[in-house]
């Protein structure tokens, strides 16, 4: 029926069949298509990474000028039996950061990664820092510790590492390292 | 067929590095920001890790004395990790260039070797086996393995033992050799790794295949048989063992060795991912021996399983076929009828799934956080409302092409989120800058005026201090006691000098005693000044030191004020144009991203629809076969009833003839019913064709 109609319209049947097969081809996914798109995705990743790098620096310059900047980092070392649940940081008697840890984050800390828990601005001089954590041993026993430290802010940016260390889960303590 | 599966195993090799355990425990961290990069890298947040690493490296290279920066200690790690992270973030183009740069920058042998291995992996991921082998050839013997523990790779930082390096190189080389068809060389490479516990199973599988491909089929089959008989506890290796046994079984089935085929089918676990195909194959082995009743044992188990599975759908046709062969035509007809219902239902489900995908719900489900909460995302996807039927596209979803496209789509969604966030942040920054300008611009001139006054006073005092310091310094060379006279002494001395003037000009007006007293006073005064000179000089130096402490504090406050004043100005000046430019660039990338994401999404949808459509056509084909087979089963059931009737008629006829011959006459019977029946019988497809088609489709997979 369709063929008769095409003949009546004088459309070459060969051309029509060719068109049909083309449209079927278009629906197929080829390796070249996948590869081509992958390359385009990689280009976009490159562009976004470059932009993110520049914007992060702009953000830091705008929000945390070096003369007032203070950054606090958390690291974890010692007994693998200890599971860190949460951290709370107080600066000048104000809670400035709280964090609940996921399994992946704890593993990253255990592997040697360092978490930047807070970046902010403070004026030059001495500031009271209190770092507290809640954690537990794999047996289920919960532990809580808190330590004080004086952050002496001078003109340049200030970095303080809050280290959670201990030879056993019950022995975990907070120490500070002034960078 | 065996050869095709190598890709899956090599993909596993490429991902091995990701799961390398342990950590940076023995490496002293010298820069907190590098520690932060590792924190994100270890969580698999490669974009965040790369972005932070990029910031740190850019800042480092902009420093005048970069070697004084703490990041300098990790520069080697950082440069190498960039390539490593880019590779894991599927940026193989850039990672390859970064690693090649490390190779060409005159680094030590340990670093060079690791860079060459990383580069080889990049090439292997790009399916470029020839260049993989070329990159591996760049690896040279490192005399001290300690270097591998200390330097430059996230894998090493994660605690990978140095001996794995050689194993990884040898295994990758073997895989690449298989890809380029150098099977004999691959056999040699893999033979060395046979006892490697870390790659247990995978080495044997690839060795078996390489042996078969190199023409040593018998040896290859022996190796695969060894793997098929091994005991494992790891689920991945158990699946590999099942796969090997299944492939061996089909190989022997093709070679008409039913007994061996049966042995290998029986080795496949009943609860493993290959159990359906094993049960199906075991049935066909029994059929090939003419044991239809035995074929029904595995097939009946399979018949009860999920109806979306290829093997189960095939067995829906195979079970009634076996019953047909056992002359249970009624049972066969019922089962064909059931199969048709199942096929119709599944076709309906597939149509719904295709419709759902076309409505965009598949892509939405792919990006759902619930689906992506763990590695089991395909199963999670199935539980989401409105998600299409993923059971039909499990194999597609596990394929490298789909995984790559899916990961790309997910990455693009992540990047879109980043761009949106930055665009929103830029608006906030602009508002913040306006507020700062409005607050600080009117204040600054007043502050500046006061500062100028204070600045003049400070400069004056500083000059005075410098003069005093100079005087004291000179007094060390040429002592000047009078400089250290107190103000009362200086006043007294001035009075004595004026009295001496009076004595000199009017001597008659002054008596001798007064003259003597003036002289004595001068003597006393000078005596005191000169004898106390050393102490006074020491005191002066101490006072200058005290002054310096105050001046130091003054200078600090002065500098702090200068910085604050500068920061106040910089907090709103010089951002307008950069922010505008960033926004333009963000919009441009966002437009580009939207276009590519739409294409990537369409590609995923097309892949899924094509697969579902293929399965639909497959089911339609079965439906047609089932329809004909059903008709034939009914026909055969009717025929057997007719045959029984004819037999009865025949016996009756013979009895009549016998009676006639003995003198009895009866009316002739209507025996044309069979012919009539034969004429109206439909032109059915013989049931045997179901068996042939099923077997062919099984072997094609």
Whether the per-residue pLDDT at A20 is higher than 50: the answer is: no
Percent helix, strand and coil across chain B, each to the nearest 5? 80, 0, 20
Nearest chain A Cα distance for residue B696, angstroms = 25
pLDDT in tens, A32-91: 888 889 999 999 999 999 999 999 999 998 899 888 899 999 999 877 888 999 999 999
Which residues make beta-bridge pairs with A18? none
Q: Tell me if chain A has a CB within 8 Å of the CB of B59.
A: yes
Whether the per-residue pLDDT at A114 is higher than 90: the answer is: yes
Q: Tell me if chain A has a CB within 8 Å of the CB of B556.
A: yes
- Residues in chain B where the model's pLDDT stays below 50: 1-26, 149-152, 157-159, 161, 665-701
Nearest CB to B589; choose among A48, A59, A67: A48
Separation CA B249–CA B255 (nearest Å): 10
Residues contacting B203, CB < 8 A, separation 6+? B171, B190, B193, B194, B196
Nearest chain A Cα distance for residue B691, angstroms = 31
Nearest chain B Cα distance for residue A71, angstroms = 10
Q: Tell me if chain A has a CB within 8 Å of the CB of B567.
A: yes
DSSP B34-99: HHHHHHHHHTT-HHHHHHHHHHHHHHHHH-TTGGGSGGGGGHHHHHHHHHHHHHHTT-HHHHHHHH
Cβ atoms of B13 and B121 within 8 Å: the answer is: no
Which pLDDT does position B22 carry in this prediction?
A: 31
Nearest CB to B27; choose among A51, A112, A124: A112
Separation CA B699–CA B692 (nearest Å): 11
CA-nearest residue to A177 within chain B is B32
- CB contact (8 A) between residue A51 and residue B586: yes
Pairing of strands A69-76, A82-91: unpaired
- Which of B22-45 are b and which e, b meaning 16 or more Cβ less than 10 Å from the residue's Cβ? ebbeebebebbbbbbbbbbbbbeb
Residues contacting B172, CB < 8 A, separation 6+? B13, B117, B120, B121, B124, B132, B136
CATH topology of domain B1-175: 1.25.40
Indicate which of A27, A42, A177 best probes the interface with B, i.e. most B CBs within 10 Å of its own CB. A42
- CB contact (8 A) between residue A53 and residue B412: no
Indicate which of B40, B50, B415 best probes the interface with A, i.e. most A CBs within 10 Å of its own CB. B415
B437, B406, B451: which is closest to B601 by C-alpha? B406
CA-nearest residue to A47 within chain B is B589
- CB contact (8 A) between residue B610 and residue A28: yes
Separation CA B427–CA B419 (nearest Å): 13
Chain A residues touching residue B70 (CB < 8 angstroms): 179
Q: Tell me if chain A has a CB within 8 Å of the CB of B412.
A: yes
Reading across the β-sheet that carries A69-76, which strands appear in turn?
A: A115-121, A69-76, A158-165, A173-178
Indicate which of B46, B87, B95, B408 best probes the interface with A, i.e. most A CBs within 10 Å of its own CB. B408
- CB contact (8 A) between residue A37 and residue B600: yes
Q: Tell me if chain A has a CB within 8 Å of the CB of B555.
A: no
Tokens (6 digits) for B366? 């792919």
Cβ atoms of B619 and B313 within 8 Å: the answer is: yes
Separation CA B694–CA B618 (nearest Å): 11
Nearest chain A Cα distance for residue B226, angstroms = 36
Nearest CB to A44; choose among B35, B412, B425: B412
Whether the per-residue pLDDT at A96 is higher than 70: the answer is: yes
Instruction: Show the CA angle centred on residue A61, arms to residues A57 and A66, nearest 5°.
Output: 120
DSSP A7-67: HHTT--HHHHHHHHHHHHHHHSPPHHHHHHHHHHHHHHHHHHHHHHHHHHHHHHHHHS-TT
Nearest chain B Cα distance for residue A9, angstroms = 32
Which pLDDT does position B664 carry in this prediction?
A: 52
H helix and E strand count, chain B = 29, 0
- CB contact (8 A) between residue B38 and residue A111: yes
Q: Tell me if chain A has a CB within 8 Å of the CB of B558.
A: no
Residues contacting B628, CB < 8 A, separation 6+? B684, B685
CA-nearest residue to B556 within chain A is A155
CA-nearest residue to A77 within chain B is B25
Nearest chain A Cα distance for residue B588, angstroms = 10
Separation CA B486–CA B100 (nearest Å): 77
Indicate which of A24, A51, A66, A160 best probes the interface with B, i.e. most B CBs within 10 Å of its own CB. A51
Tokens (6 digits) for B246? 């299944």
Residues contacting B298, CB < 8 A, separation 6+? B278, B279, B280, B282, B283, B286
Nearest chain B Cα distance for residue A150, angstroms = 19
Cβ atoms of B413 and B597 within 8 Å: the answer is: yes
Whether the per-residue pLDDT at A23 is higher than 90: the answer is: no
Q: Tell me if chain A has a CB within 8 Å of the CB of B515.
A: no
> Which pairs from B541-549 meet CB under 8 Å and 24+ separation?
B541/B472, B544/B465, B544/B468, B544/B469, B544/B472, B547/B465, B548/B465
Which pLDDT does position B679 carry in this prediction?
A: 37
* Residue ranges per structural domain of chain B: 1-175
* 3-class SS string, B663-677: CCCCCCCCCCHHHHH
Indicate which of B33, B42, B126, B581 best probes the interface with A, i.e. most A CBs within 10 Å of its own CB. B42
- Which of B622-653 are b and which e, b meaning 16 or more Cβ less than 10 Å from the residue's Cβ? bbebbbbbbbbbbbbbebeeeeeeeeebeeee
Architecture of domain A69-178: Sandwich (2.60)
Scan for tokens 């913040």, then name that residue. B432
């Amino acid at each position: 029926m369709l063929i008769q109609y095409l003949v009546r319209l004088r459309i070459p049947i060969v051309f029509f069949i060719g068109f049909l097969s083309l449209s079927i081809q278009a629906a197929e996914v080829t390796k070249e298509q996948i590869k081509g798109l992958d390359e385009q995705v990689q280009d976009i990743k490159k562009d976004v990474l470059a932009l993110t790098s520049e914007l992060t620096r702009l953000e830091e310059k705008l929000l945390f000028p070096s003369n007032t900047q203070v950054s606090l980092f958390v690291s974890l070392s010692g007994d693998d039996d200890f599971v860190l649940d949460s951290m709370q940081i107080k600066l000048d008697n104000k809670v400035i950061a709280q964090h609940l840890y996921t399994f992946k984050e704890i593993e990253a800390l255990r592997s040697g990664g360092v978490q930047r828990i807070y970046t902010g601005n403070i004026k030059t001089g001495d500031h009271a820092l209190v770092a507290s954590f809640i954690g537990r041993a794999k047996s289920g026993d919960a532990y809580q510790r808190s330590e004080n430290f004086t952050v002496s802010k001078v003109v340049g940016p200030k970095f303080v590492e809050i280290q959670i260390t201990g030879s056993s889960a019950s022995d975990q303590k907070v120490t500070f390292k002034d960078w | 067929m065996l050869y095709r599966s190598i890709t899956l195993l090599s993909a596993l090799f490429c991902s091995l590095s990701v799961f390398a355990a342990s950590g940076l425990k023995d490496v002293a961290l010298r820069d907190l920001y590098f520690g932060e990069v590792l924190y994100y890298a270890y969580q698999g947040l490669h974009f965040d890790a790369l972005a932070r690493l990029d910031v740190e490296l850019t800042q480092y290279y902009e420093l005048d004395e970069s070697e004084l920066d703490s990041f300098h200690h990790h520069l080697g790690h950082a440069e190498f990790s960039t390539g490593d992270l880019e590779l894991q973030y599927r940026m193989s183009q850039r990672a390859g260039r970064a690693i090649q740069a490390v190779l060409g920058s005159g680094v030590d042998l340990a670093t060079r070797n690791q860079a060459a291995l990383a580069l080889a992996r990049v090439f292997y991921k790009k399916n470029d086996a020839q260049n993989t082998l070329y990159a591996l050839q760049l690896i040279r013997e490192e005399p001290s393995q300690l270097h591998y523990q200390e330097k430059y790779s996230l894998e090493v930082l994660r605690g990978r033992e140095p001996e794995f390096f050689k194993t990884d190189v040898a295994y990758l080389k073997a895989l690449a050799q298989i890809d380029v068809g150098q099977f004999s060389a691959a056999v040699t490479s893999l033979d060395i790794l046979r006892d490697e516990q870390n790659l247990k199973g995978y080495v044997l599988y690839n060795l078996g295949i390489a042996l078969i491909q190199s023409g040593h089929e018998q040896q290859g089959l022996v190796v695969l048989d060894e793997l098929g008989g091994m005991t494992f506890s790891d689920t991945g290796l158990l699946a590999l063992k099942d796969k090997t046994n299944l492939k061996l079984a089909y190989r022997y089935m093709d070679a008409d060795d039913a007994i061996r085929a049966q042995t290998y089918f029986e080795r496949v676990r009943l609860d493993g991912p290959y159990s359906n195909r094993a049960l199906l194959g075991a049935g066909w082995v029994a059929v090939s021996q003419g044991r239809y009743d035995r074929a029904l044992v595995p097939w009946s188990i399979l018949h009860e399983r999920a109806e979306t599975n290829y093997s189960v759908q095939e067995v829906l046709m195979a079970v009634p076929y076996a019953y047909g062969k056992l002359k249970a035509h009624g049972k066969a007809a019922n089962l064909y009828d059931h199969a048709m219902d199942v096929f119709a239902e599944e076709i309906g489900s597939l149509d719904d799934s295709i419709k759902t995908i076309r409505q965009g719900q598949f892509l939405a489900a792919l990006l759902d956080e619930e689906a992506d909460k763990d590695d089991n995302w395909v199963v999670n996807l199935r539980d989401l409302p409105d998600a299409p039927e993923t059971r039909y596209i499990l194999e597609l979803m596990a394929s490298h092409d789909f995984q790559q496209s899916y990961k790309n789509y997910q990455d693009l969604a992540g990047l879109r989120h980043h761009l949106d966030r930055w665009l929103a942040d830029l608006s906030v920054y602009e508002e913040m800058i306006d507020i700062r300008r409005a607050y600080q611009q009117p204040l600054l001139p007043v502050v500046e005026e006061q500062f100028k006054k204070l600045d003049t006073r400070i400069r004056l005092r500083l000059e005075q201090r410098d003069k005093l310091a100079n005087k004291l310094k000179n007094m060390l060379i040429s002592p000047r006691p009078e400089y250290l006279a107190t103000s009362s002494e200086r006043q007294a001395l001035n009075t004595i000098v004026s009295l001496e003037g009076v004595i000199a000009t009017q001597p008659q007006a002054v008596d001798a005693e007064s003259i003597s007293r003036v002289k004595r006073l001068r003597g006393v005064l000078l005596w005191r000044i000169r004898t106390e000179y050393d102490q006074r000089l020491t005191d002066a130096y101490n006072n200058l030191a005290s002054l310096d402490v105050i001046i130091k504090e003054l200078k600090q406050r002065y500098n702090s004020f200068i910085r604050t004043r500068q920061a106040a100005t910089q907090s709103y000046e010089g951002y307008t144009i950069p922010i505008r430019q960033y926004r333009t660039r963000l919009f441009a990338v966002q437009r580009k991203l939207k276009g590519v994401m739409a294409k990537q999404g369409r590609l995923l949808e097309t892949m899924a629809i094509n697969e579902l459509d293929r399965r639909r056509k497959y089911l339609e084909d079965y439906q047609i076969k089932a329809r004909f087979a059903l008709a034939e089963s009914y026909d055969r059931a009717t025929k057997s009833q007719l045959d029984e009737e004819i037999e009865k008629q025949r016996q009756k006829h013979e009895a009549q003839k016998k009676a006639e011959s003995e003198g009895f006459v009866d009316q002739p019977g209507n025996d044309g019913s069979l012919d009539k029946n034969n004429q109206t019988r439909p032109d059915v497809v013989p049931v045997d064709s179901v068996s042939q088609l099923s077997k062919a489709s099984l072997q094609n997979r």
